[in-house]
Amino acid sequence: MTAAELADKALDIAEHYKTLYVMGCFGAPMTPANKTRYCANNAYNRAAARVKMIEAATDDTFGFDCVCLLKAILWGWCGDKTRTYGGAGYAVNGVPDIGADSMIRVCSGVSTDFSGIVKGAAVWLPGHIGVYIGNGLAVECSPKWKNCVQVTAVANIGTKPGYNARRWTKWGRLPYVTYEETPAPSPTPAPDPVAVNYRGEVTAEIGLRCREEPVDGVVLSVYKYGAIVTITKELNGWGYTGAGWVSLEYIRKLEDETPAGEEEISLSMTKAELEEMIRKIAAEVVESKNPVYKDLKDVPAYWRDAAAALLDAGVVNGGTEAAVNATDLNLREETLKAAVIAVLYCDKKTEGNE
């Protein structure tokens, strides 16, 4: 039996047969003999309310419990009212007579992540089991809600209008059926570059990197700000200059084609120029991370009193005489921080010695 056939048969029973939750029953029609048998052989069924339900069932009603629904289908149940178990055998087709908790243990690929659940998989929570039929739905036999074989929404996936919803703990592939695996989708082929022909101006003020591939990869060279390049191919926001790929985000298109007789001007950097640019950028980064406080007024309020005390004591000086500018500081943030910490430390030591 395939997993799809198991799921379809469970749905067929839920939609086209009269059923009743009867503990330990795997598809037996509710004939007088079977009513007597099942009311006597299980403590759950002997409860007065359950006896009343079983006795009231018509003889075209079939009894199931949760795991017995799955076993009945796997044992060949066909809805035959003339046969003791509705056409099912007992422990046939390589399917043993086991409970719900044992059945999930023999499943493969057991998971708590329901995003990958497949049709015909067992859905389980402690003491209860059902079968997934696709589209976020399961078939289960439960005394809850309709007290029969019923279709419910798998709450782990989402609720559905018109269906009661149950949250399950795990799902797994039953070893007694075959599953048709969905083949992995073929990878999408990489797009080909589009042929173009236009000139563009580099707009990146710190220079535009020319790369080996149209991705953030190996840098071959750097074009200066204002350099004019000819783009002959485009791909995913990158343009090919003949020397490599540049980001078109920093290219201002000048015209569609290079006029006849005009020569392309490609201003790439020498190694020395590139090193000078790197030094400049590094200095800008240092300046942004560790700024210079040129005057006392530039110091954040939370350090200003300590900085003023340092100036008054003559510990620091920005290079201008106090008579000319008493608040000249000219200190980097990290240096001032160290001085302030030293002052605070000395204050604490002094307090401790008083």
Does residue 153 share a domain with residue 11? yes
pLDDT band at 342 (very low <50, low <70, confident <90, very high): confident
Does residue 123 share a domain with residue 26? yes
Confirm whether 345 is domain-assigned.
Answer: yes
Q: What is the pLDDT of residues 104-162, one digit of tens each?
A: 999 999 999 999 999 999 999 999 999 999 999 999 999 999 999 999 999 999 999 99
Is residue 64 within 8 A of residue 74, CB to CB? The reply is no
Confirm whether 76 is domain-assigned.
Answer: yes
Confirm whether 95 is domain-assigned.
Answer: yes
pLDDT band at 318 (very low <50, low <70, confident <90, very high): low
Does residue 203 share a domain with residue 326? no
Does residue 337 share a domain with residue 309? yes
Q: Which residue has the higher pLDDT, 292 or 115?
A: 115
Confirm whether 282 is domain-assigned.
Answer: no
Does residue 11 share a domain with residue 123? yes
pLDDT band at 322 (very low <50, low <70, confident <90, very high): low
Q: What is the pLDDT of residues 58-117, one digit of tens each?
A: 999 999 999 999 999 999 999 999 999 999 999 999 999 999 999 999 999 999 999 999
Does residue 102 share a domain with residue 23? yes
Q: What is the pLDDT of residues 28-39, one digit of tens each?
A: 999 999 999 999
Confirm whether 69 is domain-assigned.
Answer: yes
Does residue 75 share a domain with residue 14? yes
Q: Which residue has the higher pLDDT, 258 or 224?
A: 224
Mean pLDDT lowest among 106-110, 218-222, 279-283 = 279-283
Residue 187 reports pLDDT greater than 90:
no
Confirm whether 23 is domain-assigned.
Answer: yes
Question: 249 lies in which domain range?
Answer: 194-272
Q: What is the CATH number of the domain that holds 260?
A: 2.30.30.40
pLDDT in the model for residue 315? 74
- Write the CB contacts of 151 (distance below 8 Å, at least 6 apart in sequence): 11, 14, 15, 133, 137, 138, 139, 163
Does residue 149 share a domain with residue 219? no
Strand locations in the chain, DSSP E? 18-21, 26-29, 61-64, 108-111, 122-125, 128-134, 137-142, 148-154, 165-166, 170-173, 194-202, 208-211, 219-223, 228-235, 238-240, 245-247, 251-255, 292-295, 328-332
Average pLDDT, the chain: 88
Does residue 164 share a domain with residue 64? yes
Does residue 306 share a domain with residue 259? no
Greatest pairwise CA separation for the chain in angstroms: 117
Q: What is the DSSP letter of 323?
A: T
Q: What is the number of domains present in the chain?
A: 3
Paired strand residues for 137: 134, 153
Does residue 253 share a domain with residue 112? no
Confirm whether 280 is domain-assigned.
Answer: no
Does residue 129 share a domain with residue 48? yes
Q: What is the CATH number of the domain that holds 146?
A: 3.90.1720.10
pLDDT in the model for residue 258? 46
Q: Which two tokens stand for residue 303?
A: 């350090």
Confirm whether 182 is domain-assigned.
Answer: no
pLDDT band at 217 (very low <50, low <70, confident <90, very high): confident
